[in-house]
Chain A
Amino acid sequence: MIRIENLTKVFETPEGPVTAADHITMDVPDGEICILLGPSGCGKTTTLKMINRIIEPTSGRVSINDEDTTGMNTTDLRRSIGYVIQQIGLFPNMTIEENISVVPRLLGWDRKRTRERARELLDMVALDPSAFMGRYPGELSGGQQQRVGVIRALAADPPVLLMDEPFGAIDPINRAVIQDEFLRMQSELNKTILFVSHDIDEAIKMGDRIAIFRAGRLVQYDRPDDLLAHPKNDFVESFFGEDRALKRMQLARVRDVMEDDVPVVRHDDDLRRALELMDERGYHYAITLVNEHHQPVGMVMRSTAETRRGKCGEHYYGVDALAHLDDDLRKVASLMFSHDTTWLACVDEDGRLAGTLTQRGITRYLGATYRPQE
């Protein structure tokens, strides 16, 4: 755990003292990504750099796993903390392998182990070691350099990682790819990460917790969903913007919102059975039709069941859009709009029906203050 207590930095400038960070206090639990978010000049970078002492704090302290870093030797401290700067900072005079090997070599690892580690890390970000080890940074694309910057910080397997807008310099499409890749890596590595960003969507996507900074102060520190649902003040509220509710949709998964335990009919059920079930549940719209593998194949409309006779298999509409359990609500809403429907069947990895999701269900979910404020 990283514990930051009353961390303060006052820069003495010719125009007088500038308080870049003002009594920042926060804990980052092990294995979590904490995003430092806020407008330009609010002290995010300053706070981050006080953790590895690139900037000496004016007062306050930082402890990592209950060890106060104040008295620690800075080079030892820094070798135990991965650091990714915004400009990537690969050394152009070194090959990719040498770049990745900087910290292991400073730590005195032997050649073989260092080399194996470099290979392993390159594999992890899908860069072919045999092609990339010997190249120079100038021979890589921006996205590839960014990846190398990240794995270089991971080389000696430090428990803590500091990242200052690590994906800031890449185009949005590549950025999303790298973000996903990074989250996948993190789910295995469980590093404790402090991550500076000024991109709200990135913060919501990547952060287990978000710390909102304003003018050197920590305004609110919460889980993303809580921040969006319960902004502490007008600043946080306006910072996340008018479309806060839509942003929250990114955070919610289908599995959390869908109605499971839904009634279904099969091809050889009678339409009267469908009507019965709908009456039972008070469905005004339709009921799901599944095949022998419990996969949704269509829906029987209430109006059909009321007016026709026969088997469900003869009177159904096929489904052309399905929601998956791990889709976020934004994607689902978009599916609903594009297929002009207010209802979607939700399926698991094997395509079996797991539940259904309606537009009403989504709005109810977003409207509810479902978590008590702390």
Chain B
Amino acid sequence: MLVVKNLTKSFNSAGGEVHALKDVNMTINTGEFASIIGKSGSGKSTLLSMLGALDVPTSGSIQVDDIDIAKLSAAKQTAYRAKKIGFVFQHYNLIPNLTALENVMLALEFGGMPASKRKARAQELLTEVGLDEDEQLRKPTRLSGGQQQRVSIARALANKPAIVLADEPTGNLDSETGKKIFDLLHSLTRSENVTIIAVTHDMDIAGKTDRTFRLKDGQIVIEK
């Protein structure tokens, strides 16, 4: 279970203090698929980075299975990201110098899997997301956007995370491919009982999730 209480985040920028998140409260149950919608600049990515321990909140708490991740040391936060969180980004963010297989193996390395087991596990994951053997050995530049996003989903799921955080995972894909990727995420997480929190602009997609949060100026205005 994920419980967010009184979460605020402010940035000091040249034009003064920016309140990206203001007193956000939310609860998401384990295995739920939640979507976050809202206009550009409403604080969606900021919220996701707090949940993923990529940044620390200004105040408030984020309880993941009774551990407040906002209060963890930097080293513990890194370990939390490696083991408990899977990220899927709008721009895929695969390591360009590594093949699809090596990208997944990299996440497995950070997750602490012994080197001897990584390759088989990575192949299994990539096959699951629909990449054939030849594609698995290609570097990201030689894969389509949809294929790259599949690799990044395989990478996100590599260490059997508790939560998958996706920031506009279909934002760079055409609607048909986007739908396929969404369905893939949906089915994979259903079978593994993973909590998914996805930021999206696509109202079709948002409509199919278990929960939807709408952010406006750093505050949750509608919760479905």
Genuine A/B complex: no
Give me the interface of B with A, judged by CB distance under 8 Å: none
Interface residues of A (CB under 8 A from B): none
